[in-house]
Amino acid sequence: MTRSNILSFLCGAAAVLAVTMVVGQSRAQAPNHVYELRVYHANPGKLDAVNARFRDHTDEIFKKHGIKSIGYFMPEDQKLNEFIYVVDHKSKEDADKNWKAFQADPEWIKVRDASEANGKLVDHVDSTYMDPTTYSKMK
């Protein structure tokens, strides 16, 4: 085996390794889903009504629009007056499309209006979109 054969082999191996590493990194950075953390800051005295609206109506309406519920949570410190949940979308673009369809859904509008007959339930919502890490159990 000549020196040029060995050098060619090593260059080829290095190129294959480099391509493998780049492809592996791009796959790790492109999650299968985007998760959304939402925190509802309920108006005073309205937290139970927010909880009831989700339990009795909202979760089912989410399903119609591709919004997959991961979990709903209440802070241990009830003074925070927050309702917290996590949902799963196929992508950020799908999330935007899903929320737009949900907001326009006549069933949702009817439920929202009925639940807010005695005043708005939520002061404001914080939303954070999250991608899973490469070592996350949720992908």
CA–centroid distance for 96 within its chain: 11
Q: Are residues 8 and 49 in the same domain?
A: no
Strand duo 68-73 + 122-130: pairing: unpaired
For 26-82, the pLDDT digits (tens) are 444 444 689 999 999 999 999 999 999 999 999 999 999 999 999 999 999 878 899
Give the other-Cβ count within 10 Å of 50's Cβ.
Answer: 20
> What DSSP string runs through 27-72?
HHHS-S-EEEEEEEEEPTT-HHHHHHHIIIIIHHHHHHTT-EEEEE
Do residues 25 and 82 share a domain? no
Residue given tokens 């949570």 in the structure block: 73
| Segments forming the whole domain that contains residue 23 | 1-30
**Same domain, yes or no, for 4 and 64?**
no
pTM equals 0.74
